[in-house]
Chains A and B, each alone.
Chain A
Amino acid sequence: MQLRWFNPWAKALAALCLVGTPAIADVLPDDRADVLYHNYDGGGITIQGPSVLVRKKVGDSLSFSASYYEDLISSASIDVKLSASPYHETRKQEGFSVDYLHGKTIYTAGYIHSREPDYSSNTAYYSISQSMFGDLTTVTFGFRRGWDDVFRDVKVNGVIQNDPTFQRQADHRGYTLSVSQILTRNAILDLNFEAITDQGYLQSPYRKIRYFDPTVPGKQFTLADQIYPGTRTSTAASADLKYYLPFRAAVTGLYRFYNDTWGITGHTVELDYTQPYRHFIFDGSIRYYRQNNANFYSDLFPRADYSNFEARDRELAAFHSISLGFGAAYEFHVPYARWINKSSLNFHFNHLMIDYSDFRNALLAGDGVYTAGTEPLYKLNANIYQVFVSIWF
């Protein structure tokens, strides 16, 4: 049985940033092409695939971009092992956008479509970016609308196929407001505010909650369907400060606050350091994230039908995580290709460690040592690799 392991809206939302707002409000983004290979390995899941972006100006006022992204998922995660069997799945995503420059304003519109066997999403977005106060400030306002169709796969006689009786929808609306402000000759501050509303079927059709059931020998719990609320509204605000160091390096500090109507509050702190050296640019980063659990989340409900809304998705659990990152870019010239201004070969690595405070390894229940609710808390370690080539023309 297949399983979608991540928040449905997260896919569409993060995909949006693929062709997000332009960097400078009064100059169109550079023409470029990027081909990336990504690989995530951790917690029993391997996800890999390509990500391609091409951006080109047409005339002086228009810039077009097209993107393609794939996730080849091989999952034997703790959730899949608990309630389903390991699976393979491919998600494909295409997007395109157009930027129009008029004076000191850039108008952007775009569309993204994502498709996998049991989920289809469409997102349309537009944004307006305005340069003001002598180009020291750039203000951007963005709006996006998403429409998702949720399906479900079932195993019939050992064969995985679509369940025709199951089809749900999820709708999303997002508003963003960003202000980019040059503070001094060496410092720039980015402020972001984002409000998102979701409506409809917002859960995974495969994940289950568990409730304490003394009648089950050994394990002492029974699985049951999750029940999520039909709406979710969230707000997030972040401040990102970048500072130029006189020997040509950059240090960045980020803080983000998140809050939503499901009771989740999240804090993100990240520090980055960028150091060029000859033809190389090196990056180092450390990211700390912490959240409390959603108010309808529980690792083990005390009995069946305990509350109106019930979830055991570990994305909604209380946890903290640390991510350590390292990147190296090597700039080179392509011989005999005068049309290429600049090209680089890049390698990025991240090590992600998640420590759950209220999500336990339920697979260990009933092994003679642990009973339901006494299993050790789950920990996740993942390695994330990216290799990509970028060319500017």
Chain B
Amino acid sequence: MSIRSELNLRASRFGDARKSCTKCMGIKIIMGLLILGTLAGCSPIQPWVKPYEREHFADPIMSFNRDPVSGTYIDHVYESREGSRGATGGVGGGCGCN
């Protein structure tokens, strides 16, 4: 088998396997989240940082995404020049309000 056709075969097999695996991964994530949500409802774990002790997290300097427009822009600059992408989202924690 020539190098080209072998590479072709390897790449396509690789590509197809990876394609279906991502869909599996997505479904696994959904299931994991649902299970986590179910457990959270009947969890015996008590919050070790009380709501009245969370004043620092209400401070804007403790926010992961204080300036969303600026943060998005600089992420975009890096992503345009690099091979890496993803996992840059910042989701904050509860301040204990409501």
Contacts and interface: CB of A to CB of B under 8 A. Distances in A.
B37 to A, nearest CB: 6
Contact of B54 (A17, A140, A182, A249): A182
Interface stretch (A82-90, A157-165, A229-237): A229-237
B45 interface: yes
Contacts of B8: 308
Interface in B8-45: 8, 11, 14-15, 18-19, 21-22, 25-26, 29-30, 32-33, 36-37, 40, 43, 45
Nearest to A181: B93
Nearest to B34: A141
Contact of B82 (A289, A307, A384): A289
A141 B93 contact: no
A215 to B, nearest CB: 23
Interface string A1-36: 000011101110111011111111111000000101
Interface in B52-94: 53-54, 56-57, 59-65, 67-94
B50 to A, nearest CB: 8
Interface stretch (A184-192, A217-225, A333-341, A367-375): A184-192
Interface in A194-249: 194-197, 199, 229-231, 233-238, 240, 242, 244, 248-249
A315 B87 contact: no
A22 B83 CA distance: 27
A36 B73 contact: yes
B30 to A, nearest CB: 7
A268 interface: yes
Interface residues of B, number: 70
Interface string A320-334: 010101010100000
Interface residues of A, number: 116
A141 B30 contact: yes
Given A18-B72, A36-B70, A185 B49 contact: yes
Nearest to A384: B77
Contacts of A63: none
A261 B18 contact: yes
13 contacts: A23-B92, A26-B97, A26-B98, A27-B95, A130-B37, A137-B40, A185-B49, A193-B87, A242-B62, A244-B62, A261-B15, A261-B18, A294-B83
Interface of A: 5-7, 9-11, 13-15, 17-27, 34, 36, 38, 40, 51-53, 67, 128-143, 173-178, 180-182, 184-186, 188, 190, 192-197, 199, 229-231, 233-238, 240, 242, 244, 248-250, 252, 256, 258, 260-262, 264, 266, 268, 274, 276, 281, 287, 289, 291, 294, 305, 307-309, 315-316, 321, 323, 325, 327, 329, 346, 348, 350, 352, 354, 384, 386, 388, 390
